[in-house]
Structure 1
């Protein structure tokens, strides 16, 4: 069956494609109005570029192939963020703050969830060149604006901080495998297994790591965190940053989850996840990733977010799209001018082709152009009602 697609790959048909494109344009316009400039990275790059540095977390999700020109291994991008970091670090080479946005398809070897596509359409925004939390605040506000424009109710925006985890395991002298295992247990909030694995550690570190899965809720959780976590400078700094971000975002459904950790080799500070639209998984993910640009020759402070446009569109009702106008392929003088005038007003005009009588409703036509009293009129396709062309 040649028409069958691989699992978790789907065609986008009308009107779903109309919803997708309509939302893409609205969001890119919003990014532009906030000063974010559009970049379009290539679909395929050398694998070592896609996976360099923080991109190592993408290794298992990246499709690989051999370049017939160079013989080198190529990768089909699984995430556009490292590509945008490469553009900022190596191509733009700006000295000040740089705001970039992007939108394009990525490919995953495995679906992220049971309902996810293996070809998400990733849209996002990144801010480079400012190390202060003002950049994180701006990015979270922009994410909230994106969800508002998409008309997806946001139930909560969880804040976390990878710096807390780094500070705690840094005192425990654990090897990379043990840290990776511990990181996964914290993400899963698997407290029984976590308790077992942490048994050999120093009591202070052990109790702090065991406290993280319990530290979630509204911003008052940060008060409890200061009570139960050690008052080491890096821990205090991380909690101070979360406090300031939460205080700077009144009106948003900010919550805290100190075990919601992602991208240990990727993120370097504040991380966040937005939930809503009755989705059990996060609609958008983001955070600070200051180390990414170093692999491309110039490390810059960086923070940003991305989301899957396909997933977002599924939460939206079908748009009330305008119908099209059916125009004859030929007619009295003035037909072409009348068609151009209608299209200039934003009307969709479809020209007839011979041999397809009665089928034009399938293309969305609900009106037609007719010649009457020496002028072109637009009437319903059934012939009821009329307007001047």
Structure 2
């Protein structure tokens, strides 16, 4: 019986063929170069770690999304990373614990989850990002929003827009200004996130209804949020949002959805999601958070950062990439001339036999008498 499924890949996983791989490398290099130009030093982390390590550095990390199995050497539970941010947090709290703050780090790598998000079946994605460790100030948040925009722009994204949110909004209001029972908080968050007015009232959050309308273009939405904040509980956050928006002004279209929670498992007072024209879905998100330390460290270290997931951008760029200029080198070609042409940017493909066809091999030019002749 013929084996017909030996080359199948699991759902949500896939290869990148040459044109897609070239686009991926271009995006990765451009984005990381942009981060490095702002002083962010690159770190690399393992794809596997002990589950406890991945789950203990950030509040809200969901271990149920990770592939987990027992390490035959240590007999401890291992997990495939689903988010590199937690690993960078570990590095900051251990190997770089004594490094001067604020500490600027960036990274790149593949992450894997047990299942995709919503209707998206993809389970392996490229994650690029930057973390600023030691502060979660407005200035830090603004710097990271600017760098995220720049990284996507130089990578090839157009028409970038950024949506701001306040991930701890309900907790902040429920603590004093608009009290909620502990059992109501999760339901109110969920109804606000779903934009369900009726469900919000049923959950005991009628006082939170104005937040459903403090959504849209930043200038309009921030005024509605300020009008809602009659007690001034959100005054500091509103001022922070205005300052960040002023820093970003003109670099991207800005919107505000203060109660958005999707994808913000561990962010604190500020969060943002970033989009680009012609690319379905978001390309990343970021915000402020805290890195949890060792035993007895309840507060943790403040930090801010962002993660980009540029796979949709890579697919779009791969489809638009122009054909390569590739020079065919016939048998017996001058190797010094070929080396000189590669040094000035040519890609060369050398013939291995007389039967090699330059056009079939994807070449655009042929080397003849020391010159590149168009095919």
Which of the pair has more CA radius of gyration?
A: 1
Whether the TM-score (by the shorter chain) exceeds 0.5 is yes
Given the alignment, which residue of 10, 14, 21 partners 2:14?
10
- Cα gap change, 1:155 to 1:269, in 2 (>3 Å): same
- Cα gap change, 1:78 to 1:362, in 2 (>3 Å): farther
Aligned to 2:373: 379
1:207 CA drift (Å) = 4.1
Comparing 297-306 with 136-145, greater Cα deviation is found at: 297-306
Count of residue pairs the alignment pairs up: 363
> For the Cα contact (< 8 Å) 1:51–1:59, is it kept in 2?
yes
Counterpart Cα distance in 1 of 2:283 and 2:330: 46
Aligned positions of 1:351-366 closer than 5 A: 351-354=350-353, 356-358=355-357, 360-366=358-364
Query: TM-score, with normalisation over the residues of structure 1?
Result: 0.85
Counterpart Cα distance in 2 of 1:329 and 1:105: 40
Counterpart Cα distance in 1 of 2:371 and 2:248: 54
Q: Aligned with 1:2: secondary structure? A: coil
Aligned to 1:242: 241
Q: Aligned with 2:95: secondary structure? A: helix
Counterpart Cα distance in 2 of 1:253 and 1:120: 26
Consecutive unaligned residues in structure 1, runs of 5 or more: 199-205, 382-389
Q: What does the per-residue CA deviation read over 1:3-25, in whole Å, with 9 as the maximum and x for residues that have no partner?
A: 11111111111211111111211
Is 1:282 matched with 2:282?
A: yes
Is 1:190 matched with 2:196?
A: yes
Aligned to 2:101: 96
Counterpart Cα distance in 1 of 2:11 and 2:104: 36
Q: What does the per-residue CA deviation read over 1:295-316, in whole Å, with 9 as the maximum and x for residues that have no partner?
A: 5979322111112121221233
Counterpart Cα distance in 1 of 2:221 and 2:197: 19
Aligned positions of 1:68-79 closer than 5 A: 68-79=72-83
Query: TM-score, with normalisation over the residues of structure 2?
Result: 0.88
> For the Cα contact (< 8 Å) 2:125–2:311, is it kept in 1?
yes
Aligned alpha-carbon RMSD (Å): 2.4
Aligned to 1:179: 185
Is 1:62 matched with 2:62?
A: no
Aligned to 1:292: 291
Aligned positions of 1:1-389 closer than 5 A: 1-54=5-58, 56-93=60-97, 94-115=99-120, 117-154=122-159, 156-171=161-176, 172=179, 174-175=181-182, 178-198=184-204, 206-217=205-216, 218-233=218-233, 235-251=234-250, 252-262=252-262, 265-289=265-289, 291-294=290-293, 299-316=300-317, 317-330=319-332, 335-354=334-353, 356-358=355-357, 360-370=358-368, 372=369, 376-381=370-375
